[in-house]
Structure 1
Amino acid sequence: MENLFSHSASDPEPSQQGGDALQPLIVTVVVPTNVSHAFQGFTDHPHLWWPLEQESVFGAGSHVEFEENLILETAEDGRTSVWGTIDDWQPPLSFHASWYPAGTPLWSTEIRVVFGAVDEGTEVRLIHDGWEGAEDPAASRASYAESWPRVLACYVRFMGGAIA
């Protein structure tokens, strides 16, 4: 019996099948503080800066937090929505998570947030990738290309930075 997971000789090479792969979305901001404080502000206090009115499952009045290995939103009535599962936690330098707000892990993308020292303070680089995991990859990438800059601008303001 032929192996179900092997490609037959007539199958095109994988690199030829998906030539229109979506590129990672990279959004970078700088906050006027050290790396450790920038990481802490991002991961310990998202409830103070995340724009829940526009970018959440339950809207204004809900609460977002990093809890154990989850990024979690809790509504005022106690309902919860897991936004992501953290699978690599390297404080204060980075974290990586599968990302699926208002969805399920079945349709997840990936985010990595990296914190690095620069002359002005800390550069925070968010890399959002894995679009093939989204239910509608192109639409998902386009939506995040609009929303991540807004979200990170709120973080910069919270950390005392100026928005360009």
Structure 2
Amino acid sequence: MENLFSHPESEPEPSQQDDDALEPFIITVVVPTNVSHAFQGFTDHPHLWWPLDQESVFGEGSHVEFEENLILETAEDGRTSVWGTIDDWQPPLSFHASWYPASTPLWSTEIRVSFRAVEEGTEVRLVHDGWEGAEDPAASRASYAEGWPRVLERYVRFMGGAVA
């Protein structure tokens, strides 16, 4: 009889799909303006470009804003939902936040958005990571991999850029 505390001779290999599911999601866009203006457009005016009809808690008619150390959505009836808590604010170069729209900080992931001068204007790079903090890591990553391109496409258009 085998020892109850023995280990199998070899551990099963995790599938490549499992590894990919928890990789950071990285998306980069370029807007035709300077770094300071790009940061300001992203953080001071998300209510003008964020696709609230597709990517929000309360839907069309709500308002999203960066308020002190929070990213906050407010419904027309005054209800609020905190999307994230900013814990590193480096204007106009970057910010980092715990990210948990429609959830709680208990189930948060992380986003870092950075702004860098390039020949065509400003490169905006969003890294979404920390999937192990999500309630369903693989499903969360897949959902954001679908949603972030729509969100950033609207931002690029708002900033006067062409969308491919």
Q: TM-score, length-normalised on structure 2?
A: 0.88
SS at match of 2:163: coil
CA deviations on 1:109-143 (whole Å, 9 max, x unpaired) are 00000000000000000000000000000000000
**Quick one: distance in 2 between partners of 1:142 and 1:112?**
18
User: 2:114 & 2:40 partners in 1: Cα distance?
Assistant: 12
Q: Which residue number in structure 2 is paired with residue 128 of structure 1?
A: 128
Distance 1:100 1:17 in 2: 31
Residue in structure 1 matched with residue 137 of structure 2 by the alignment: 137
Q: Distance in 1 between matches of 2:28 and 2:136?
A: 25
Change (3 A) 1:121 1:40: same
| Structure-2 separation of matches of 1:154 and 1:17 | 40
Q: Secondary structure at the match of 2:122?
A: strand
Distance across 1 between alignment mates of 2:14 and 2:32: 41
Matched residue type, 1:111: I
1:53/1:160 CA distance change after superposition, 3 Å: same
Q: Which amino acid aligns with 1:127?
A: V
Matches within 5 A, 1:70-81: 70-81=70-81
Cα distance between partner residues in 1 of 2:114 and 2:129 = 14
Q: CA deviation at 1:18?
A: 7.9
Partner residue in 1 for 2:92: 92
CA distance in 2, matches of 1:98, 1:114: 15
- Counterpart Cα distance in 1 of 2:96 and 2:72: 15
Query: What residue identity is the alignment partner of 1:82?
Result: V
Larger radius of gyration: 2
Relative to the length of structure 1, the TM-score reads 0.88
Give unpaired runs (5+ residues) of structure 1.
1-9
Q: Distance in 2 between matches of 1:102 and 1:139?
A: 15
- C-alpha separation in 2, matches of 1:154 and 1:129: 22
Give the letter for the 1:83 counterpart.
W
Aligned-residue RMSD, C-alpha: 1.7
Q: Give the ranges of 4+ consecutive aligned residues of structure 1 lying more than 4 Å apart after TM superposition.
A: 16-21
Kindly indicate whether residue 37 of structure 2 is the aligned counterpart of residue 37 of structure 1.
yes
Structure 2 distance, partners of 1:73, 1:53, is 12
Residues 122 and 135 (structure 1 numbering): CA distance in 2 closer, same or farther, change over 3 Å?
Answer: same
Task: Provide structure 2 residue ranges, at least 5 long, that are not aligned to the other structure.
Answer: 1-5
2:57 alignment partner, SS class: coil
Report how many aligned residue pairs link the two structures.
151
- Equivalents in 2 of 1:148, 1:17: separation in Å? 31
| Matches for 1:137-156 after TM superposition, within 5 Å | 137-156=137-156
Secondary structure of 2:146 counterpart: helix
